[in-house]
Amino acid sequence: MAATITKQVKASGGDVIFFTHQSTSTKTSMAFTVYMPPSSKNENENKKCPILYYLSGLTCTNMNFIEKANAIAAAAEHGIVLICPDTSPRGGDDVPDAPEDMECKWDFGKGAGFYVNATQEPWSKNYNMYDYVVTELPAVVTATMESLGLSGRVDMARSSVFGHSMGGHGALMIALKNPGKYKSVSAFAPICNPSSGKCPWGDKCFGQYLGSIEAGQEYDATVLAGTYEGPLLDVLVDQGTKDNFLATQLETSAFDEACKSNEKIQAEVRMQEGYDHSYYFISTFAAEHVAFHAQRLKSV
């Protein structure tokens, strides 16, 4: 069950480690990247390092955030283990991709798993990214850390989650669907209300993977925020005002209103003037997000 190391490089006093493993959720080989901070090497350190999962957006892989987000130094400073999975099953020719007759292909299929468990053929065999992120990946990380002799340095019981765009949708949705599992959640430019009928990405992915837009309500952060009844959840969202998807896909205000109506959610939604949807935006605020999670992970 442990993953295999494919590469390892030093960064900010710690190590970026690249892993692959055979997934039972997706029935394919999956890749994920881990940053182990310098404090994880300190045998004299009494406290284990908590985990912060990052979920990437459409077309991205397990590499984008590690390479572009400028977050490693912040993770090193706060003693946080970063874990970045891929965004979808990829495998080979057996894994279905966007249909040939689909007018736009970049936002569906490989690279666009949308963090749901597909129920419709041909997607249901492989596109089970919800189960992968919530259940399988933590189990694989646990087994891998044990195999590397690092289980005493990583605290699997203390974790938070954040993400960007489709991954922001995934992070918010997963935290809301699993009360108490994550200590905090944050997102950069998340797809907030994909089952509203006002989000073409949601229309496409829910319609194909789940059979209908309505079926996607169980994976919709705005819907889930309205019914959330778990322990108090701290949420941080950053959204650029010059994001070209803001008016047509993201529905940020709907999520903000749903959170304000629920006393179990303590959300700060920050509109960042002049920023777009890119990693220039993410890299500007990534260190603040890591610090936000570190404060909550270390207070428990």
Q: Is the dihedral of CA 149, 153, 157, 161 positive or negative?
A: negative
Q: What is the pLDDT of residues 161-180, one digit of tens each?
A: 999 999 999 999 999 999 99
Phi, psi of 21 (to 5 degrees): -160, 165
Residues 6+ apart with CB under 8 A from 149: none
The CA distance from 203 to 213, in Å, is 6
Question: Based on the number of CB atoms within 10 Å of its own CB, is 161 exposed (0-12), middle (13-18) or buried (19 or more)?
Answer: buried
Mean pLDDT score of the chain, rounded to an integer? 95
The CA distance from 236 to 162, in Å, is 9
Is residue 236 within 8 A of residue 186, CB to CB? The reply is yes
Map tokens 């850390």 to a residue: 145
165, 184, 186, 195: which one is catalytic? 165
User: In this structure, which amino acid lies at residue 226?
Assistant: G
243, 256, 289, 293: which one is catalytic? 243
Poorest-pLDDT segment among 100-104, 154-158, 174-178, 235-239 = 100-104
Is residue 26 within 8 A of residue 126, CB to CB? The reply is yes
37-66 burial: b if 16+ Cβ within 10 Å, else e? bbbbeeeeeeebbbbbbbbbbbebbbebbb
Is residue 71 within 8 A of residue 163, CB to CB? The reply is no
21, 78, 277, 293: which one is catalytic? 277
Average pLDDT score over residue span 153-165: 96
Q: How high is the pLDDT of residue 230?
A: 95
Structure tokens, 90: 């990829």
Check residue 1 and report its DSSP letter. -
The CA distance from 92 to 57, in Å, is 21
Q: How high is the pLDDT of residue 298?
A: 86
| Annotated catalytic residue 23 | no
Q: How high is the pLDDT of residue 41?
A: 78
Is the full-model pTM beyond 0.95? Answer: yes
**Confidence check: pLDDT of 44 > 90:** no
42 pLDDT band, cuts 50/70/90, is confident
* Domain locations along the chain: 4-297
The CA distance from 118 to 137, in Å, is 18
3-class DSSP state of 169: helix
Q: What is the pLDDT of residues 69-124, one digit of tens each?
A: 999 999 999 999 999 999 999 987 799 999 988 988 899 999 999 999 999 999 99
| Annotated catalytic residue 97 | no
Q: What is the pLDDT of residues 250-261, one digit of tens each?
A: 999 999 999 999
CB atoms closer than 10 angstroms to residue 12: 16
3-class DSSP state of 225: helix
47 pLDDT band, cuts 50/70/90, is confident
Map tokens 């270390």 to a residue: 298
Residues for the chain: how many in total? 300
143 pLDDT band, cuts 50/70/90, is very high
Average pLDDT score over residue span 140-164: 95
CATH tag for 4-297 (out of 3.40.50.1820, 3.40.50.620, 1.50.10.10, 3.30.450.20): 3.40.50.1820
Q: What is the pLDDT of residues 172-222, one digit of tens each?
A: 999 999 999 999 999 999 999 999 999 999 999 999 999 999 999 999 999
Q: How high is the pLDDT of residue 101?
A: 84
**Confidence check: pLDDT of 45 > 80:** no
The CA distance from 113 to 59, in Å, is 10
| Annotated catalytic residue 78 | no
Q: What is the pLDDT of residues 269-290, one digit of tens each?
A: 999 999 999 999 999 999 999 9
Give the closest residue to 253 by CA, choosing from 232, 233, 274, 267. 267
Question: Based on the number of CB atoms within 10 Å of its own CB, is 26 exposed (0-12), middle (13-18) or buried (19 or more)?
Answer: buried
Is residue 83 within 8 A of residue 53, CB to CB? The reply is yes
Average pLDDT score over residue span 38-48: 75
